[in-house]
């Protein structure tokens, strides 16, 4: 994925958190990163934000561990398709 594609994907994920998270800390973190007030790495080093992310990451890890190898492969293929689509859109935007 191009750098622009990566940036767009991260921005979309942060925008989703900013608008839809039930946790005010995550909305604040996403907003701060999108506005350039802090980097994602800086935000994740702050226990205030890391503590807010932990329940979701823990839930994801539990879900992922229960998947069969074929289910994991199917999800990975879906992810690659989304990333490829974003990369193609970025390439088209640069033309």
Domain ranges of the chain: 3-94
Q: By mean pLDDT, which of 39-48, 58-67, 71-80, 85-94 is the weakest?
A: 85-94
Return the structure tokens found at 41. 């790495």
Q: In this predicted structure, what is the pLDDT of residue 7? A: 84
Return the structure tokens found at 6. 């990566």
For residue range 50-80, list pLDDT tens digits in order.
999 999 999 999 999 999 999 999 999 998 8
Q: Determine the Cα–Cα distance for residues 44 and 10; give it in Å rounded to an integer.
A: 14
Task: Give the pLDDT band (50/70/90) at residue 94.
Answer: low
Q: In this predicted structure, what is the pLDDT of residue 88? A: 76
């Amino acid at each position: 994925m191009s750098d622009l594609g990566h940036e767009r994907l991260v921005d979309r994920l942060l925008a989703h958190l900013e608008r839809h998270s039930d946790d005010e800390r995550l909305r604040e973190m996403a907003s701060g990163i999108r506005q350039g007030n802090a980097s994602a790495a800086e935000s994740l080093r702050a226990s205030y934000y890391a503590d807010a992310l932990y329940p979701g990451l823990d839930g994801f890890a539990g879900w992922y561990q229960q998947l069969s190898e074929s289910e994991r492969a199917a999800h990975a293929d879906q992810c690659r398709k989304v990333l490829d689509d974003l990369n193609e859109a970025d390439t088209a935007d640069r033309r």
